[in-house]
Amino acid sequence: MIKRIAWLLAGLILGGIVLVVLMGQEDTSDTADDTRDASEVDVSDRRGALVDEVVFTQETDVGKVAGLIERGSHQVFAQGVTNTTTFHRLQDSTKGDYETAYGSNTELTLNPAEFESGINPFSNRRIREAMNWLVNRRHVAEEIYGGMAVPRFLPMNTAFPDYARLAETARSLELKYGYNPERAREIVGEEMEKLGAERRGGKWYYDGEPVTLRILIRTEDARNQVGDYFANLMVDLGFEVRRQYRTAEEASRIWIATDPAAGEWHVYTGSWVSTAINRDVSSNLSYYYTNRGRPDPLWQAYDPSEELNSIAKRLERRDYSSLEERRDLMARGMELAMKESYRIWLVDQLSVIPRAANVSLAADLAGGIAGSRLWPYTLRYKDKVGGSMTFAAPSILTEPWNPVAGSNWLFDTMITRALNDPPLVPDPYTGLYRPQRVESAEVTVNENTTVKRTLDWVSLETSEKITVPPGAWIGWDAKRSDFKTVADAHPEGTTARSRTRITYEEGFLDRQWHDGTEMSLADLVLPWILMFARADENSPFFDPAHVPRFRVFEQYFKGWRILDRDPLVIEVYSDQVMPDAETIVAQQALSPQAWHTLALGMMAEEAGDLAFSSNKADAERIDWLSFVSGPSLDVLKRHLGRARDREYLPYASVLGDMIESEEEIPSRYRALADWYEQYNHFWVGDGPFYLHSVHPVEKTVVLRRNEDFPDPATKWLDFSEPEIPELALNGPMMVRHGESARFSLDITFGGEPYPREAIENVEFLLFGGDGTMEKKGKATYTDGGRWQVELSESTLESLGDGANSLEVAVTSSRVALPAFASHAFATVPEGTTVMEAVDE
């Protein structure tokens, strides 16, 4: 049953399995614990969060989950558990419950660098590609993950809309790269000899020494078994293997932080989480296969083929004029990615996220609780208001926190999401963005682009030509310390493919930061300037690792300007066009960062004491900047004293006009000094929670409710159960040649027919026994949630005799996850007695 659920429902920026626990705790705060029965309290009167405190702690033993929940000491594990025993125990428990998520995956990250000494087999493209034939993904899904996963081959989640759109290409590549260990062994043998290795006694040698592979194996979850499985395969191929079992933090110091050419590792058991439903995964090719993906040393070693790099750039810029052109680019890109194989994708996981029955919060269908943008706004006990909860994760404070190029680990990001308040948040069921601090938006695109609008808060228009105003800001001149305008960059003028006008809610800049200081326009503009300064060799903040990704942004960014300050209205011009108007707005909306905390980091980097990114920190042999812990705190405290003495305002010549008054500068630094004195960190946000304390040794982080948060606590409580289509595909088991065949598809939810108006597409693919796709088309709606597929005599005749497969993909407007079903049948000669179909 679990295997069937994983296939039908799953159909299927880092790190691994997150484990979150909510636990009742005695209040040790300096404020009273306002815990009252919900029936005695009018919840609509409460502002901000519905709990008073959230404590994050580290817990690595996933096996304890169900028992701790049932005993009442813990309430939620926020990242998915794929252990079937735990799942069944939760199903039978009266005290436990769970959410379901489809956005996690497991892969093998291969180090493609040529080592400074010795040989690295994975520097060879054909050997990397051969690993796809070596691994048995079905074994990994069914045996290691107990059926709570499905095989994955490509750099796109099998549960997201693009997989359904590219079903033909996906299935063809999945068949091409199916399990074939003999082919893998043959290719590895050929290429190892070309690399200068020789095989003696069943072992590979290079310069007289055994070729030894260092495999980094994560220990907190099923990747422990995945790593051992792959290590055994490599031993069978004749390699020596050194298994390096590591936690997330230990592993990141090697595969993320070190130079890949140093040869400290060959393979890492990776896992990624899409923290929201991704309606457009076309940028995955850039993220996972080019040096534009991340500034870390490993990504800088990626050197894809010119064609793949070009396609990845075009898709990242959304440089296409139709859905058909986009589909062709993605199809070719997927083929080339398999050739490159910097990663061997293994499975998409069907994850259950255990929680106590008396806890409720909005979980994302992709990222679960850990990936949900709405968890801080919806977290609550069902039977009381207020109180304390404790979250646990297998790793927190994994990497330094800073808002420029700090930790990208899911566990750390989950916490920081509660500390900041974004202009827009993604719907946890559809991935469409909804306004949090935006009143409305107007999107205008060129007539030759393909964009659609779904939600009423955004409008969509087309225009034959979009001219960028000459006064719009298009860059930053580090030498002049001033904005570069469109007139400076394009004296002859320029155009854009899109114009986005965003009206923020009234009073957007009248809000306060957590340290009590008032916001100003400088909080919006300084992060934007710094993005340009980090790509400019004339700037003290220049970071080479930031450049590749910035260059792509620079190619499509065409300028922005401020139209009004009260309410705040900005206008952004870009050549990057997304399939959804809501996503275009989300890409263009600027989020504020407290300029006075950012200024301390800038002072420290300019002085050569700290660096925002791991890459620059390693290159200059200084500490990676953290606003919350470690040796960075003393350095930042010293620079705070300097900033107060100088009344330092970065880029004062331009930001001086964007602060509320001259008093803003000293008042900000006074408030920050008081903040640090009280809380011993420099993380100042504007979210529904503030960062109360950080305890690196104990691996504990404490958040407290922001009582000055402007929104009512009920703002985001309307999300209900996601309506994922449930499919039942029936038809004949055998069909005689010379006959046609009819197959019926029932689409339901909760036992009721799925509404016809909510079904966007029902597509079928017909595969012959050799895996060749023979036909694709649309199913026909009949009535009562039933659809049908009719295959003609001529279509069936082309299949020949033997086994075939009919596969169906269904997409709905109510959830972004496509649903899949398949039906196997045989075509037989005329006159054969056939078995009739029986509905289940």
DSSP H helical ranges for 492-567: 522-533, 547-556
Q: Which of 27-31, 166-170, 376-380, 735-739 has the lowest mean pLDDT?
A: 27-31
User: Taking 90 as the threshold, does the pLDDT of residue 28 lie above it?
Assistant: no
User: Taking 50 as the threshold, does the pLDDT of residue 140 lie above it?
Assistant: yes
Please state the rounded mean pLDDT for residues 673-691: 98
User: Taking 50 as the threshold, does the pLDDT of residue 260 lie above it?
Assistant: yes
> 155 near 323, Cβ under 8 Å?
no
Q: What is the pLDDT of residue 839?
A: 38
Cα dihedral sign, 9-10-13-17: positive
DSSP H helical ranges for 545-626: 547-556, 581-588, 595-606, 614-620
Which residues are paired to 270 by β-bridges? 107
Q: In angstroms, what CA-CA distances link 697 with 205, 397, 635, 700, 701? A: 44, 10, 20, 8, 11
From CA 74, how far away is CA 451, in angstroms rounded? 45
Please state the rounded mean pLDDT for residues 803-812: 91
> 312 near 332, Cβ under 8 Å?
no
Structure confidence at residue 24 as a pLDDT band (50, 70, 90): very low
Tell me the pTM. 0.76
Q: What is the pLDDT of residue 835?
A: 52
Task: State the DSSP code for 519.
Answer: P
From CA 678, how far away is CA 672, in angstroms rounded? 10
In the CATH scheme, what architecture does the domain 726-828 have? Sandwich (2.60)
CATH superfamily of 104-348: Dipeptide-binding Protein; Domain 3 (3.10.105.10)
Q: What is the pLDDT of residue 720?
A: 63
Q: Which of 264-273, 616-625, 769-778 has the lowest mean pLDDT?
A: 769-778
From CA 69, how far away is CA 390, in angstroms rounded? 12
Structure confidence at residue 97 as a pLDDT band (50, 70, 90): confident
Q: What is the pLDDT of residues 696-715, one digit of tens each?
A: 999 999 999 999 999 999 99
Q: What is the pLDDT of residues 276-317, one digit of tens each?
A: 788 889 999 999 999 999 888 999 999 999 999 999 999 988
Q: What is the pLDDT of residues 453-481, one digit of tens each?
A: 999 999 999 999 999 999 999 999 988 89
Please state the rounded mean pLDDT for residues 110-124: 95
From CA 496, how far away is CA 503, in angstroms rounded? 20
Q: What is the pLDDT of residue 518?
A: 95
- Percent of the chain surpassing pLDDT 90: 67
Cα dihedral sign, 734-737-742-744: positive
Q: What is the pLDDT of residue 684?
A: 98
User: Taking 90 as the threshold, does the pLDDT of residue 820 lie above it?
Assistant: no
Which residue did the predictor score with more confidence, 773 or 187? Answer: 187
Structure confidence at residue 32 as a pLDDT band (50, 70, 90): very low
Both tokens assigned to 544: 């080479």
Task: State the DSSP code for 453.
Answer: -
Q: What is the pLDDT of residue 35?
A: 42
Which residue did the predictor score with more confidence, 460 or 838? Answer: 460
The chain-wide mean pLDDT, for the chain, equals: 89
Q: Three-class SS of residue 87?
A: helix
From CA 515, how far away is CA 683, in angstroms rounded? 10
Q: What is the pLDDT of residue 33?
A: 40
Structure confidence at residue 42 as a pLDDT band (50, 70, 90): low
Which residues are paired to 812 by β-bridges? 759
> 615 near 299, Cβ under 8 Å?
no
From CA 521, how far away is CA 568, in angstroms rounded? 9
Angle at 718 between CA 715 and CA 719, to 5 degrees: 120
Q: What are the domain boundaries of the chain?
A: 17-100+354-415, 104-348, 435-467+499-681, 726-828
From CA 4, how far away is CA 12, in angstroms rounded? 11
Q: What is the pLDDT of residues 59-85, one digit of tens each?
A: 777 777 778 778 877 777 877 777 778
Q: What is the pLDDT of residue 464?
A: 94
Which residues are paired to 570 by β-bridges? 502, 562
